[in-house]
Amino acid sequence: MKRLLAVCLLLAMSSVLKPAPAEPQNKEKEEVAKMSLKVGDKAPDFNLLSDEWKPVKLSDYYGKKNVFLAVYVLAFTGG
Amino acid sequence: MDSPAANAAFAKQINIKFPLLSDMNRKMLTTYGILKTYDVKGDTYQWALRANIVIDKDGIIRHIEGGDSAVDPNTAVSICTDLHKKQSTK
């Protein structure tokens, strides 16, 4: 597992968004994201800031490591 | 949305050894199709769909799951482990 890179994407939105009002769920219209990518597709490159304020590109790992992206929202950072 | 600073504090707190990334402009989420739009009382909000994605060394997606099934990382972890084993035996 040493060559496996785990990348965790933390996207807690609580500091930006107003908390959702405690209304009945049926008043909310939800548009579920359509995941456009599938197994076998080339993963689009990205360039994101790490917790050390360094840019991290997916392409930095080409030929070097497998990448596990875990996308979290409203995560546990207390954001 | 968590800033790199918030992520840094959290990484220190629980001693994380891998990068925590911030998609503050939601560009990556949009590209990957995992940005979810909510309309609450006429206001639109967007945040990420929970997702696990495994990408191999060639940049090819080997596993992708979103929503409730992505809460459990075990499937993605086992795919990573298999991938690593296969590559080691090549």
Between residues B24 and A13, the one the model is more confident about: B24
Q: Binning pLDDT at 50, 70 and 90, where does residue B17 land? A: confident
Contact between B35 and A62 using a beta-carbon 8 Å cutoff? no
pTM of the model: 0.74
Q: What is the largest CA-CA distance in chain A?
A: 49
Cβ–Cβ < 8 Å for B80, B54: yes
Give DSSP secondary structure letters for B5-69.
HHHHHHHHHHT--S-EEE-TT-HHHHHTT-EEEEEETTEEEEEEPPEEEEE-TTSBEEEEEEGGG
ipTM of the complex: 0.84
Per the CB < 8 A criterion, the answer to whether B57 and A61 are in contact is yes
Q: Domain coordinates of chain A in residue numbers?
A: 1-16+41-66
- How many Å lie between the alpha carbon of B85 and the closest alpha carbon of chain A? 9
Please determine, for residue A12, whether its predicted confidence score (pLDDT) is greater than 50: no
Phi-psi region at B37: left, alpha or beta (left = phi > 0; alpha = psi -120 to 50): beta
Contact between B48 and A58 using a beta-carbon 8 Å cutoff: no
What is the Cα–Cα distance from B48 to A17, expressed in whole angstroms? 13
Q: pLDDT at position B1, please?
A: 60
> Residue B54 carries which side chain, given as an amino acid letter?
V
pLDDT tens, position by position, A48-64: 999 999 999 999 999 99
Judged by CB atoms closer than 8 Å, whether chains meet at B51 and A69 is answered as: yes
pLDDT tens, position by position, B46-82: 888 889 999 999 999 999 998 888 888 889 999 989 9
- Quick check: A29 and B45 in contact, CB under 8 A? no
**pLDDT greater than 80 at residue A74:** no
Percent pLDDT > 90 in chain B is 32
Tell whether the model's pLDDT for residue A3 goes beyond 70.
Answer: no
For an interface test with B, the pick among A51, A60, A67 (most B C-beta atoms closer than 10 Å) comes out as A51
Contact list in A for residue B54 (CB cut-off 8 A) is 66-69
A contact test, residue of B55, B77, B88 with most A CBs within 10 A: B55
Residue A22 has pLDDT above 50, yes or no: no
Proportion of chain A in helix, strand, coil states, percent, rounded to 5: 10, 35, 55
Q: Which residues pair with A68 in a beta bridge?
A: A6, B54
